[in-house]
Amino acid sequence: MLSIGWILGGCGAPNQPTGTIERKYYAPGPWAVTFVPGTPQGACCDSKRNPFDLYFPTSLGANGFHHPIITWGNGTNFGPPGPISQGVDYFLRHLASWGFVVVATQDGRTGAGQTILDAANFLIRANTDSSLASGIFVNKLQPTQVGAIGHSQGADGVLNAMILSNGGILTAISIELPAQIWCFCDDPNKLLDVRKITGSVFLVDGSLDIPVSPPTQKQPASVIGLQSIAAYYDAVPSSVQKLKATLIGPTHNDISGQPGCDTARAEPCFNGVYGYLGYLTAWMADRLQVDPTAHAAFVQGTGEIFQQRANWEFVQSNIQ
């Protein structure tokens, strides 16, 4: 196992946070991080026989801490060279530095959600089964505190995984959720049905990702379905705690910045990962670690994210 430290981008980084809460979670957390790439002999396997990449605090369970679980959903064929999750390595390390154990299937076609759910279930079992992942996670996890984050096709996938989990996945963040015209399914009748979502969701996109994930519904009337983040948000039941926000500047693959676009694993990338670090981490801290500081960022109308107009627009929330 290899534990690697890293530093945040310099003072000139784009999308730097301006709010106190976002700045807190934008900074690396207090945990050193270990990355273990998936192999058929190691953390294995989802229902398609893909192994799992793992990011976790090096000192698992220190001071009796039990770590919430986050399962990651890749975009289409995203990541190589190297383990597929390394396309978003910086982002996943950041999450782990805040005390989460992150599992990422190496599946490059995650839209159906099953392999994302398989990864979460692997860690849930690993909390009690010493034969999995060399037993390092036994009694170190919170198997009832599970979240999912995905990008592009994986943004569809995490919502489908949440639906398939029957309440096992409590919350999901969809990054650059594609308009339904970009259906990643083998049958258009199997489009993601957000009316079936329970739990809580955060829908986030970049303002320049208009071809794939537009923030508002501007397609011709002849194009039916949910073709924007706004349309998805409105279709999610009002009983679900939900938030949507558009990060000003990024396009479709900025999440792959390591942290900047000069080292991004995919193009197009304009700003890099910076703007995705703070509030996305805070969301998981709120939802899975019951962190009142993080929660204050998202409260309808008065939350900090509503005030951060240099970086965020089209913010909407029903969270109290």
pLDDT, tens digit, for every residue of 267-318?
Answer: 889 999 999 999 999 999 999 999 999 999 999 999 999 999 999 999 999 9
Tell me: the pLDDT tens digits for 106-149? 998 899 999 999 999 999 999 999 999 999 999 999 999 999 99
Report, in angstroms and rounded to the nearest whole number, the Rg of the chain calculated over CA atoms.
18
Neighbour tally for 120: CB within 10 Å: 25
Mean pLDDT, the chain, whole residue set: 90
Q: Is 92 exposed, middle or buried (0-12, 13-18, 19+ CB in 10 A)?
A: buried
Which tokens belong to 124? 């849930």
Domain 12-317 sits in CATH at 3.40.50.1820
**3-state secondary structure (DSSP) of residue 103:** strand
Would you say residue 10 has pLDDT above 50? Answer: no
Q: What is the pTM for the complete model shown?
A: 0.92
Chain centroid to CA 238: 22
Give residue for tokens 């207090």: 30
**190's tokens:** 């199997």
Tell how far CA 29 is from the center of its chain.
17
Give the whole-number percent of the chain exceeding pLDDT 90: 77
The answer to whether 171 and 287 are in contact (CB under 8 A) is: yes
Has residue 11 got a pLDDT over 70? no
Give the span between the Cα atoms of 195 and 240, in whole angstroms. Answer: 10
Q: Is the pLDDT of residue 186 over 60?
A: no
Query: 199's torsion region: left (phi>0), alpha (psi -120 to 50) or beta?
Result: left
Arithmetic mean of pLDDT, 38-65: 89
Rounded-to-integer distance, Cα 16 and Cα 312, Å: 11
Residue 80: the pLDDT is 41
- Contact between 179 and 106 (Cβ < 8 Å): no
- Of the candidate ranges 100-104, 205-209, 225-229, 253-257, the one whose mean pLDDT is the lowest: 225-229
Q: Which residue has the higher pLDDT, 233 or 263?
A: 233
3-state class (DSSP) for residue 239: coil
Distance of alpha carbon 294 from alpha carbon 26, whole angstroms: 12
* Host H or E run for residue 275: helix 274-289
CB contact at 8 A, 149 and 158: yes
